[in-house]
Amino acid sequence: MVKKMLFLGFGVCLGVLVLFTGCAGTKSLTNVRTMAVIERIPEGDRPVWADKGNNYWIESGNHYFMGYEDDSLDLQACITEAERTAEKRLTEQVKAHLTNDIQKLIETQKYEPQTIELLNKTFSQVLSKTSIPYLSESESYSEKVKEVLNKEKRTYYRSFVLVELKKAGYEKMFKEVMSEMKKQFKASKTNKKILDNLESKYLNSLVK
């Protein structure tokens, strides 16, 4: 009798488990999401730069960063946020790139360790306070997306904005940093000579 009750209890539990499993399986099958681009702004295929995979790159001396914003109900707000992101990140990337270049250049000049430390420290401090007002929006591209999740439908925008710092703007920013450094080292003719040498060497390297 006890065995029979245990068997019946096991059978009931198994049946409940199958029932819940079946329900869960049915539910997972209904959670199907589909998305389709229903409008492109401007019309045409998505630009190559929007599918590069890298957000930051340098081409012909010009620096680029692609900003991206998704899931926005307002097109202009979507574009504005993507542009804001691109400008912020491009500024960070450009400063990191310039800092790395200058550190490498300083290391090749065979200066005294104290001089190397002073130059690197001062350059980083000045650069961190330097703004880059020469950024400009190069291109923008947006898509209106229709999404269907089960029976619920909604539309939203995604935007790609390409922001550029031209080579001339990059060089101008570098010259401004060096000019400020020279002001800080104006009492030392030796350090000023070192800075003139670094500035000349780096600008010449950009010509290549």
Q: Which residue has the higher pLDDT, 16 or 124?
A: 124
- Residues in contact with 100: Cβ distance below 8 Å, sequence separation at least 6, in sequence order: none
Cβ burial 180-205 (10 Å sphere, 16+ → b, else e): bbeeebeeeeebeebbeebbeebeee
Backbone angles phi, psi at 15, to 5 degrees: -65, -40
* Of the listed ranges 135-139, 148-152, 182-186, the one predicted with least confidence: 182-186
Under 8 Å between Cβ of 80 and 67: no
* Confidence bin at 202 (pLDDT 50/70/90): very high
pLDDT computed for residue 192 by the predictor:
83
Region 136-153 average pLDDT? 92
* Percent residues over pLDDT 70 in the chain: 85
The structure tokens 């930051």 sit at 56
pLDDT at 27 > cutoff 60: no
**What is the model's pTM?**
0.79
pLDDT computed for residue 187 by the predictor:
64
Is the sign of the CA dihedral 100, 103, 105, 107 positive or negative? negative
CA distance 64 to 62: 7
Under 8 Å between Cβ of 143 and 46: yes
